[in-house]
Amino acid sequence: MQLFAGSKTVLVVGAVTFFLLLGSTVYEPIRPLFIVGVGATTLELGLMMALFSLVSVVTRIPASSISRRLGRWRLLVFSLAIGLATSALYAFVYNPLLFYPLLSFSALSWSVFSPISVVIILDRSTPSNRGAVMGIYFSTIGAALLAGPLLCSFLTLFIGFRELFLVSAVFPALALILFLIKVKVPEIEGDNQDDDVRNEGERSTWGNIARILRVRNVAAMCYAQVAFAISYGVFTTLFSIYAGEDLGLSASVIALIFSVRALTNFLTRLPAGRMSDDIGRRKLVILSHAIIFIVFAVLPFVRDTTLLVLLIAIYGIGWGMRVAPDAALVSESVPSKDRPMALAMLMTMFDLGSALGSLLVGLAASLITIPNVFLLCAPILLSGLLCLLFLTKETLNYNH
């Protein structure tokens, strides 16, 4: 907690992030089941989930630039309001075609909110404690990823899917109320940013991207992020269907498995962030991506429920271990004026990979078995892992 001394904004933004994300993680384990239940095919499900990620791809970097002109506070309020509306509207969808605009607006909420909130946190850290600060902030995300599936597992024992969506709207409503009450406009208004960051927003976005991608660490991390996100998109789109149809697990048990992954994810984020301050970002980044590769290489061959839960728990460890070191390494590899854009690019690569993963599901699930779709992710992850071996140990802000 000493890391946050005198920075109420960090605490409030973390709490707002928790409630906003909780609004979607409550229904994330059952959303594919609900979409298919309404009448969508597996191909349509893949296209819908791909659209969700593609919207984030095309909006995240522009949102980062627009925030410099309109102010961070206004865009954060906008994103929270959209998150509230979309959570509730899922309950009223009876035509599969309506999922396309609804998923698009759901993606827009998080793609606007996430890069701005991360930059706010980074602005209140120093090179010596950045990994720990990011670990604490990303732990609020991990907490939402844990609490959501647990609530889903419990609530689906008593209520249906549509009622669950209505309940989920309570959490983004809390996020919006907390933000409006506790966050003061001058603290995060766009006009209060450093001059070099504000002036950078007036230059060519594509020129900035090209310059940033010439940094070896950023290029390697972006590629590895895409590889990881492809596997994430495949898992998120397909695992509920696989566990329900192939393994015969109930919606409550499926949500409980998601919560196991979220628990180990949550418990790993803060220690990994602090450890990266001590031993270096590079080692943890490589180890975390290696763990994810092993999980997807083994997953297609595991059908025993106990072993499956154990493997998903390991998946959560690898996922949680990579988050804070990834963000810290990228932020330290570029000048401060490029930091917002670099982080937005890293997040955009995740969205792009997720979209590719969902498209892979839509195209491959009708041709090969679900376990083999999971297995396709292993060589993709391996290529990302090999790319990380080219990371340089030297960074601009903090060397190890």
Does 371 fall in a domain? yes
The distance in angstroms from the start CA to the end CA of the chain is: 24
Does 400 fall in a domain? no
Does 57 fall in a domain? yes
The 10s digit of each residue's pLDDT in 251-290 is: 889 989 988 998 998 888 888 888 888 777 888 889 999 9
Judge contact between 321 and 291, C-beta under 8 A: yes
Does 398 fall in a domain? no
CATH classification at residue 215: 1.20.1250.20
Does 101 fall in a domain? yes
Does 89 fall in a domain? yes
The 10s digit of each residue's pLDDT in 197-238 is: 444 444 556 667 777 888 888 888 899 999 999 999 899 888
The 10s digit of each residue's pLDDT in 138-174 is: 778 878 888 998 899 899 998 999 999 999 999 999 9
Output b/e per residue, 379-392; b: 16+ Cβ within 10 A: ebbbebbebbeebe
Does 397 fall in a domain? no
Structural domain count of the chain: 1
Expressed as residue numbers, the domain containing 88 is: 2-388
Full-model pTM: 0.73
Does 176 fall in a domain? yes
Residues 6+ apart with CB under 8 A from 24: 83, 87, 106, 110, 148, 168
